[in-house]
Structure 1
Amino acid sequence: MRLDKFLSETGCGSRKEVKRLLKQGIITVNDQIVKDAKSQVNEWADQIAYDGEPLRYQKYFYYMLHKPQGVISATEDKYDETVIDLLSDEDYREDLFPVGRLDKDTEGLLILTNDGQLAHRLLSPKKHVDKEYFARIAGIVTEEDIEQFAFGLTLRSGEAVKPGQLVIDAVDEAAEESEIRLVIQEGKFHQVKRMFEAVDKEVVYLKRLRMGELYLDEELELGGYRPLTEAELAMLEPSN
């Protein structure tokens, strides 16, 4: 790997900023000052330091984000704030992206990473990864709805969706509202909302609670994020 690329990927700045650091003579490789940005280094074996501080290379990054409403699941947008915009300057990387998407008005668990293989494992229908949601519903959710969801629905568009596990948490008959949890394995556009539309009900609030075995850390404030722990990352492996 080129030295300037290594320095950029370890958070020392842009390629242009890194070249200025190199000219200052404060970058060492195996205790030798190196000023050539094109120098090749072994990111795993060489001892590279910035002003005496060792730099450690990390290939993949994984963050748990508590997505708030009003923010879109994209890497960039001309009009709206994106989930990537929520990252601090220190944590921002050009190659980070959200794993899947949550609608603009949906809250909850979203993973940000630069690991494309992990994203594929979590999103591929063939992997059968559970996605659990909490929702408030305008309407009384019934046992009949549970049976329809368990069987598999046909949306108003005519599109079929696979079975989902629907649980009723609470029903307010006076307000004609219900609180539910739903586990699905697909991720079609507006899927949860469209599933309830198919049974003549409306989702008024939606939050994703988990993906696979990974649950949202409820101590994270809306818009907050943190790195995944090694134990949490293991929960996303195929064996789980």
Structure 2
Amino acid sequence: MASVCVEINRRVDLERDQLSVNGQSVAAEKKVYLMLNKPRGLITSAQDEKNRDTVFSCFTGATLPHIGPVGRLDKASEGLLLFTNDTQWAARLTDPASHLDKIYHVQIDSLATPALIAAMQAGVIMDDGTPLKAKRVTLLRSGEKNAWLEVVLDEGKNRHIRRLLEANQINTLRLMRVAIGGLLLGELAKGEWRELSAAEVAGLKA
């Protein structure tokens, strides 16, 4: 026989307990996992005190529960950005101890020398004491005056790649995240989003 509990401080198991408020049943909110191809120029925030456009403008008209971004991309950056209402899943992905690889394609304002690639992988200590380095850097292609690099990070600090390049007297022209773990941005169009499959969600938990 079911028992009724009215204790305010009792922990609730949403898989087993039945909840009601004023006689109306309350169900657990469905967990959603989304990926967005973030365009440049959008703030990774639900609201902005300067009234700048945010990434949530990409979800206008969609029927979704309350979701939040998993990690960040700065205003000038673009590419793969995850969203969910599963706070535990998000916390696991953003935990520095997870060492989840994130892959970026970065256009720089100079040619990429072997010395630059070595310096980025060796790392630097910033003036504020923050250590910054890349797990791996690979030259993708070169032009006459600039180059594209693939940069792999297994940690993420504020403006990590931009600051690392600036410490080596290099400016970032374009920065795009193309993968998180085994999840690839693929052919998803700029400003478009889609739900992750169960296999993709499970793969990012691994």
Please state which band the TM-score falls in when normalised by the shorter chain: 0.7 to 0.9
The one of 123, 133, 140 equivalent to 2:111 is 140
Q: Which residue of 2 aligns with 1:200?
A: 169
Q: Which residue of 1 aligns with 2:194?
A: 226
Q: Which blocks of at least 5 consecutive residues in structure 2 are unaligned?
A: 1-19
Secondary structure at 1:70's aligned position in 2?
coil
Post-superposition CA distance 1:81-109 (Å, at most 9, x none): 2112221333343x311111101111100
Greater Rg, structure 1 or structure 2?
1
Identity %: 33
CA positional deviation for 1:152: 2.3
Post-superposition CA distance 1:102-149 (Å, at most 9, x none): 011111000011111111111111110111100110012111122222
Indicate if the aligned counterparts of 1:99 and 1:112 stay in contact, CA closer than 8 A. yes
Indicate if the aligned counterparts of 2:134 and 2:151 stay in contact, CA closer than 8 A. no
Q: 1:223 to 1:137 in 2, by over 3 A?
A: same
Between 61-70 and 76-85, report the one with greater CA deviation. Answer: 76-85
Give the residue type in structure 1 aligned to 2:147: S
CA positional deviation for 1:162: 4.2
The one of 62, 66, 78 equivalent to 1:90 is 62
Coordinate RMSD, CA, aligned? 2.0
Quick one: higher RCO (CA 8 Å, sep 6+), 1 or 2? 2
CA distance in 2 between counterparts of 1:127 and 1:97 reads 20
Q: Which residue of 1 aligns with 2:179?
A: 210
Q: How does 1:58-207 map to 2 (within 5 A)?
A: 59-78=30-49, 79-93=51-65, 95-155=66-126, 157-172=128-143, 174=144, 176-207=145-176
Post-superposition CA distance 1:138-183 (Å, at most 9, x none): 01211112222222222354421244200001122x3x20111000
TM-score (norm 1): 0.72
Q: How many equivalent residue pairs?
A: 186
Q: 1:206 to 1:156 in 2, by over 3 A?
A: farther
CA distance in 2 between counterparts of 1:103 and 1:91 reads 26
Indicate if the aligned counterparts of 2:35 and 2:196 stay in contact, CA closer than 8 A. yes
Between 141-150 and 191-200, report the one with greater CA deviation. Answer: 141-150
Q: Which blocks of at least 5 consecutive residues in structure 1 are unaligned?
A: 1-35, 44-56
CA positional deviation for 1:59: 2.4
CA distance in 1 between counterparts of 2:172 and 2:149 reads 10
Indicate if the aligned counterparts of 1:84 and 1:96 stay in contact, CA closer than 8 A. no
Post-superposition CA distance 1:50-92 (Å, at most 9, x none): xxxxxxx752111110000111111122411211222133334
Indicate if the aligned counterparts of 2:123 and 2:164 stay in contact, CA closer than 8 A. no
TM-score (norm 2): 0.83
Q: Which residue of 2 aligns with 1:5?
A: none
Give the residue type in structure 2 aligned to 1:232: E
CA positional deviation for 1:187: 1.5
CA distance in 2 between counterparts of 1:141 and 1:122 reads 31
